[in-house]
């Protein structure tokens, strides 16, 4: 379960402060799908970064499965991200010098996982890329690269998957296939899925829909 209590984010700006997120309270149950929507600049990526522990809130607490992650040091946050959180980005962020298989393997090797080769192979199968493991990112389409990125995000079987506009760089049909893959992962693995999307249809299918505007929740439907 994810709980945000009075979370705010401000940054210094000129001789004042710019508030990116106004006080925010939010609960997302284990296994839920939460869709975050809102115009560009409304604070969606900032919110996801706070949940991932990539960024610290100015005030408030972010609690993931009972652990207040705002109390963790950099090592603690790195361990949390390595073991409990998978992240999928708009622009895939694969390592270009590694094959698809090697990209999936990296987080497992960092975590010291024993059966890494077999699990990397299985994950590539799970995202529909069994026969593409030896290809480099430049040899794969955008949709295929995002599938590799999803397999990599699942490398250490995290209970929480965060996706920031995962279809933002894909055509409509490919984007739909990626969304179905993410929703299937949520169903099969019971992975909590928090995703930023511009797709109102997807937001309507989510268990929780959070609409942001200028750093405030304007609508939360559950
Ligand atoms: N580190 C930062 N310093 C200053 N402004 C920032 C910083 N991070 C984000 N912002 C600003 O905060 C607002 C929200 O950004 P972001 O969360 O990326 O929005 P979204 O993902 O919804 O497009 C934007 O106006 C952005 O320019
Ligand atoms: Mg963003």
Cα–Cα distance measured from residue 111 to residue 66, given in angstroms and rounded to the nearest whole number: 22
Domain ranges of the chain: 31-56+72-208+217-221
Percentage of residues in the chain having pLDDT higher than 70: 100
Q: Could you give the CA distance from residue 156 to residue 175 in angstroms, rounded to a whole number?
A: 24
Instruction: State pTM to two decimals.
Output: 0.94
Query: 41 CA to middle of ligand 1, Å?
Result: 6
Name the nearest CA neighbour of 48 among 95, 90, 104: 90
Position 222 pLDDT exceeds 90: no
Task: Summarize the confidence of residues 106-122 as an average pLDDT.
Answer: 93
Parallel/antiparallel/unpaired status of strands 208-213 and 33-37: parallel
178, 146 contact by CB (below 8 A): yes
In the CATH hierarchy, which fold is given to the domain comprising 31-56+72-208+217-221? Rossmann fold (3.40.50)
Distance CA 107, CA 34 (A): 25
Nearest protein Cα to ligand 1, atom 24 = 41
Task: Note the pLDDT of residue 200.
Answer: 83
For residue 184, name the pLDDT band (cuts at 50, 70, 90): very high
Q: Is the CB of 86 under 6 A from ligand 1?
A: no
- Average pLDDT value for the chain: 94
Question: Does the pLDDT value for residue 213 go beyond 80?
Answer: yes
Asked whether the predicted pLDDT for residue 165 surpasses 80, the reply is yes
> In the structure encoding, which two tokens stand for residue 24, read together?
């925010």
Contacts of 43 (CB under 8 A, 6+ apart): 9, 20, 21, 212, 214, 215
Question: DSSP E strands: which ranges in 130-171?
Answer: 160-164
- pLDDT tens track for 125-146: 999 999 999 999 999 999 999 9
Q: Is the pLDDT of residue 221 over 90?
A: no
Distance 164 CA to ligand 2 centre (A): 7
Strands 33-37 and 192-196: parallel
Please report which confidence band the pLDDT of residue 76 belongs to, taking 50, 70 and 90 as the band edges. Answer: very high
pLDDT tens column, 49-66: 999 999 999 999 999 999
- Any ligand 1 atom below 6 A from CB of 49: no
Which residue's alpha carbon is nearest to atom 18 within ligand 1?
A: 45
The token pair at 154 is: 């699942």
pLDDT at 220 > cutoff 80: no
Contact residues for 16 (Cβ-Cβ < 8 A; gap 6+): none
**Structure tokens given for 216:** 């405030």
Cβ contact 4:60 at 8 Å: yes
**What percent of the chain has a predicted confidence (pLDDT) above 90?**
90
Coil, strand or helix at 221? strand
């Amino acid at each position: 379960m994810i709980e945000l209590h009075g979370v705010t984010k401000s940054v210094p700006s000129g001789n004042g402060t710019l508030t990116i997120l106004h006080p925010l309270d939010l609960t997302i149950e284990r296994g839920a799908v939460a869709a975050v929507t809102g115009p560009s600049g409304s604070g969606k990526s900032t919110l996801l970064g706070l949940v991932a522990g990539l960024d610290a809130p100015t005030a408030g607490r972010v609690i993931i499965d009972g652990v207040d992650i705002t109390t963790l040091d950099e090592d603690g946050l790195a361990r949390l991200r390595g073991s409990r959180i998978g992240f999928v980005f708009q622009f895939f962020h694969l390592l270009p010098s590694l094959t698809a298989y090697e990209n999936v393997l990296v987080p497992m090797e960092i975590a010291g996982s024993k059966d890494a080769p077999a699990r990397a192979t299985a994950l590539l199968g799970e995202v529909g890329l069994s026969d593409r493991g030896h290809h480099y990112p430049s040899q794969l389409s955008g949709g295929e690269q995002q599938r590799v990125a999803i397999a990599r995000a699942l490398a250490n079987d995290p209970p929480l998957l965060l996706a920031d506009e995962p279809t933002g760089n894909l055509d409509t049909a490919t984007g739909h296939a990626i969304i179905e893959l993410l929703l299937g992962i949520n169903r099969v693995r019971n992975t909590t899925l928090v995703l930023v999307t511009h797709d109102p249809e997807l937001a309507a299918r989510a268990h929780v829909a959070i609409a942001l505007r200028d750093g405030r929740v304007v609508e939360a439907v559950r």
